[in-house]
Amino acid sequence: MKPKTPTETGGVAPERRPLLVIAVGRQRVGKTSLLNTTAQFLRAHGAQFSLWNADTLNKTYSLSRFHTDVLEPPSPDPEDVKAWLEDRFTGLIRMRGDALLDIGGGDTPLARLVHEVPLVQTLDRRGVRLVLVHVIGPEMADLDYLERFLSDRLLAPEATLIVMNKGLVLTGRSSGFAFSAVRQHPAMKIAMDAGAELALMPSLPCMSRVTDRALTFADAMSGGEKPGHEPLSFFDQERVAVWWTRELPAFFAEIPRLWLPDMPGFVPPPAAEAQGPTDATAGAPMTAAADA
């Protein structure tokens, strides 16, 4: 998708604004994996932001296992979580920072909140850009959230990113085939027409072996160990290294720069390398525009 030109943005260069990045989607589509990966990658490249974990039901694999500074609500009661979210959002507006929020799947307090308050507009009026990340796999039901959010317009910011999780494709299958029905889904076209961006999250075959050990990816690459666990095999260490150094940079380069916290240490890979030998027609590199 083409970034907006200065003409399209009224002659004003797109500006960096405080960000609230929220991942939504069905349960077990990889929201926490995406946020965990994103948080680690952003921090490794110099970004500063807050991490909020409202996914209180997910104890085994939560952001808090990988990051020591994660803020969590005081109780899992939905009303408490909703009040906690309001406090966080208020603080974000005041402090002018960036935040990544793991809200979990299913019936969430966020869904309740947006029924009461037009969250996108409320934050936008106060200078905060809400970036909604729809995480989907190749199943049609994975698009239910997107379809519903688009139809009732309760949470449909212009900064909408659709992340297709390649890790959900069965081994050996063509991911293009696996996602071919997703490509045809009307909700995808409506979202694209509204300005949504696409990205394909690369798979890490040994992801569960890394996360089961509560290893960071940096630790996993360097052979770090956790008590009570077998060391990660050398092959898995290499798999993580390839994924981290080659595939993730290309993935993050697909996302508009202003939709992520600033990464001063990140140099997007050259377009030719990012696009590979297929000489694809699209695949815009990390864009500076697409401002809301």
| Local structure of 100: helix, strand or coil | strand
Member of 10, 12, 74, 107 binding another protein (CB under 8 A): 107
**Residue 152: enclosing H or E segment and its boundaries?**
helix 144-152
Residues 6+ apart with CB under 8 A from 3: 256, 284, 287, 288, 289, 290
Closer residue to another protein in complex, CB, 125/183: 183
Residue 250 CB, nearest distance to another protein (Å)?
8
Three-class SS string for 215-265? Answer: CCHHHHHCCCCCCCCCCCCHHHHHHHHHHHHHHHHHHHHCCCHHHCCCCCC
Verify binding: residue 183, another protein, rule CB under 8 A.
yes
Verify binding: residue 221, another protein, rule CB under 8 A.
no
Per-residue tokens: 101: 């929020």
Binding mask 186-215 for another protein (x = CB under 8 A): --xx--xx-xx-xxx-x-------------
- Candidates 163, 145, 165, 164; CA nearest to 155 is 145
Closer residue to another protein in complex, CB, 98/197: 197
Residue 194 CB, nearest distance to another protein (Å)?
8
Closer residue to another protein in complex, CB, 12/282: 282
Verify binding: residue 166, another protein, rule CB under 8 A.
yes
224-244: burial string, b at 16+ Cβ within 10 Å, e else: beeeeeeebeeebbebbeebb
Verify binding: residue 135, another protein, rule CB under 8 A.
no
Per-residue tokens: 128: 């905060």
Stretch that binds another protein, among 7-15, 52-60, 66-74, 171-179 (CB under 8 A): 171-179
- Candidates 197, 117, 181, 99; CA nearest to 154 is 117
Binding mask 222-251 for another protein (x = CB under 8 A): ----------------------------x-
Binding site for another protein (CB under 8 A): 1-2, 78, 107, 111, 115, 144, 152, 164, 166, 172-177, 179-180, 183, 188-189, 192-193, 195-196, 198-200, 202, 250, 254, 274-278, 280-284
